[in-house]
Amino acid sequence: MKAPIGLIAAVAASVVLSAGTRATQSIPSIEVTAAWIRWLPAGVPSGGYMTLTNTGAASQALIGADSPEFGAVSVHHTDTRNGVSEMASVNSLLIKPHSSLQFAPGGYHLMLMQPKRALQPGDHAPITLRFADGGSLQVSFEVRGADQ
């Protein structure tokens, strides 16, 4: 019995990424590596970090994210001017073909607000990244302590 082409494509689109990061993807040109959340005391917003790589020939625009572990998830950027850091929400981030965009402390990050349970270092939280073309990518983010 032959497997339907759609099933084969769905299985082929599932990706296992480095450092324990797992993703199920419907955006085959986007790869996510080093996905992690900085652990902070319960109830305090946390930051989510990762590297997005566009291996395709067309630009992809990240327009948002959500997670069953948090009441609200948004894309933010920290900018420091004259020694003062300011954080602003970002509506869309363009990832150009054959390039990477790093989410790191002090720069782009996912603002993870209203945690629904107390996550601990070593836990994993699913976060779904949403793209302008209607595609999405579910990524497993590892919770890490401040010293990691």
**In the prediction, which pLDDT does 85 show?**
86
**Residue 80 is part of which domain span?**
5-144
**In the prediction, which pLDDT does 6 show?**
39
**In the prediction, which pLDDT does 68 show?**
97
Q: How far separated are the first and last CA of the chain, in Å rounded?
A: 49
Give the pLDDT of the chain (148 residues) as one tens digit per residue.
444 443 333 333 333 333 344 445 577 899 999 999 999 877 788 999 999 999 999 999 999 999 999 999 999 999 888 888 889 999 999 999 999 999 999 999 999 999 999 899 999 999 999 999 999 999 999 999 877 6
Nearest CA among 140, 107, 128, 133 for reference residue 36:
140
**In the prediction, which pLDDT does 25 show?**
53
Between the CA of residue 79 and those of 60, 84, 90, what are the distances in Å? 23, 8, 12
Token representation of residue 40:
């902070």
Phi, psi values for residue 12, rounded to 5° = -65, -30
CATH number where 28 lies: 2.60.40.1890
Number of domains in the chain: 1
**In the prediction, which pLDDT does 125 show?**
97
